[in-house]
Amino acid sequence: MSTSKVELYDPAAFTHIPFIKDATIQFYENGLHKLVQSIGALIRDHQLENMFGVCLVHRHFELRDNEKLVEYKGTATPWENGTERTTGGTVTAQSWFYHGDKLVPFEFEYVPPDIEHAIHWELIPAGFLAGLRSLIDTHTSGHLLGLRRYPGDDYPGGVEVTQGRVNVTFHLEDVTSNIIKRLC
């Protein structure tokens, strides 16, 4: 595959993503901070900072082959593929990672009807994706980093908490010491 092409969701690829605890440990053990900075610089060099950020590639729980993780207003749950057709909205990718030689989405967002929210990959410079791939390949744990849709200047930040097969992102202003204790 050309590094300028983005693939569709692949449930088999999702099973290769590490769980959040393992991904976090590997991130720190392998010193990926500098790689995050390099990817951030690449994003800025291509003037894509209002489109993408860097994310830690992780999963919170298992998904079935006919499911994908879909977030709506801070709550992510498994949706059966095609479910969005019954709601009138669309489901668009919001996080991507390299699996082998393919850039594939692994987290999605529900977008209500009449809102345009898709990333037009044909407008993304091929040099950006080639550079991203090159940076990720320079580090043995580079596969732990991917792209995330930029949430906007008004995004307050958040802390993800998983309960069973539901993941809730709490805004930082709502994070209590109990949440922090649960995460540690």
* Nearest CA among 141, 78, 142, 154 for reference residue 110: 78
* 151 in Cβ contact with 142 (< 8 Å): no
Count Cβ atoms below 10 Å from residue 148 Cβ, excluding itself.
Answer: 17
At residue 181, the pLDDT reads 57
Q: Could you report the per-residue pLDDT of 93-146, keeping only the tens digit for each?
A: 999 999 888 899 999 999 888 777 777 777 788 899 999 999 999 988 889 999
What is the three-class DSSP state of 142?
helix
Q: How far is CA 163 from CA 45, 57, 104, 115, 169, in A?
A: 39, 19, 26, 30, 11
The residue type at 82: G
pLDDT at 46 over 70: yes
The residue extents of the domains of the chain are 11-155
